[in-house]
Amino acid sequence: MQELTDQQIQELARKLSEEQNKVRRAYLEQKKTLDDDMVVSGKTVKEWKDELWITVPSADMNPQVCIETNLAIMRAAAIVDYEHTKAEMREQVLAKQASSAYYQGMDHIVTEFKASDKRIPGAATLEVMAEVSSELYKRIAIEASNELKFWKNFKDHLQFVKKLMEQAGYAVGAEIRSEGYSRYLESLGKNYGGSNG
């Protein structure tokens, strides 16, 4: 087997880099399209993110910041839980409709062939024809399933943020208790002659 020359290696690296850049651009373009154009429960993905996404504050964590962030989490969780429940119900109903449409399509096709005195096609052909006739319902059911996944991901995000805020609350509480204990010890020293004077 022949070894590659430095020039061939450089050419391969350049082509690979170009291909990676194409893929990255396509990904970013698709992401922007999804964020800006995909509608979930009446709003775009970007609109939902702007309204409901919670970021844990990284600086100046104090009781007020904890309270405000927890209130934002509670507000977002109420909306997300409601939308998730609606999406769950919609997904179940549409999945049943898609299944029902398949069997109704099969029955309709057989009935049409019998009514026209034509020979009924084989089972495989009937299945394909029924699949085609129920395709719209299957696509709608897939969209409902994707919407359910969207809300599930939002619920997971809020659970994660809630856990982080619980930990932050414990840390802030411990700091406050520590400061209070230090002041208490200082007051003991002042009140009971803590200095040798």
Instruction: Give domain status of residue 44, yes or no.
Output: no
Q: Which residues neighbour 154 within 8 Å (Cβ) at sequence distance 6 or greater? A: 48, 52, 76, 80, 83, 84
Q: Has residue 130 been placed in a domain?
A: yes
**Is 147 domain-assigned?**
yes
The number of domains in the chain is 1
pLDDT reported for residue 197: 45
Mean pLDDT, the chain, rounded, equals 85
Range from 5-14, 161-170, 183-192 carrying the lowest mean pLDDT: 183-192
Let me know if residue 69 belongs to a domain: yes
Does 114 map to a domain? yes
Mean pLDDT, residues 85-97 taken together: 92
Q: Which amino acid is at 36?
A: D
Has residue 19 been placed in a domain?
no
Of the candidates 163, 104, 166, 170, which has an alpha carbon nearest to the alpha carbon of residue 133? 104
Confirm whether 8 is domain-assigned.
Answer: no
Residue 94 has pLDDT above 70, yes or no: yes
- Please state, for a pLDDT cut of 70, what percent of the chain lies above it: 93
- Whether 29 is in a domain gets the answer no
pLDDT above 90: percentage of residues in the chain: 29
* pLDDT digits 0-9 by tens, 28-71: 777 676 667 788 888 998 999 999 999 888 778 888 888 999 99
Q: Which domain holds residue 70?
A: 62-197
Please state the three-class secondary structure of the chain as a single string: CCCCCHHHHHHHHHHHHHHHHHHHHHHHHHHHHHHHHCEECCEEHHHHHHHHCCCCCCCCCCHHHHHHHHHHHHHHHHHHHHHHHHHHHHHHHHHHHHHHHHHHHHHHHHHHHHHCCCCCCCHHHHHHHHHHHCHHHHHHHHHHHHHHHHHHHHHHHHHHHHHHHHHHHHHHHHHHHHHHHHHHHHHHHHHCCCCCC
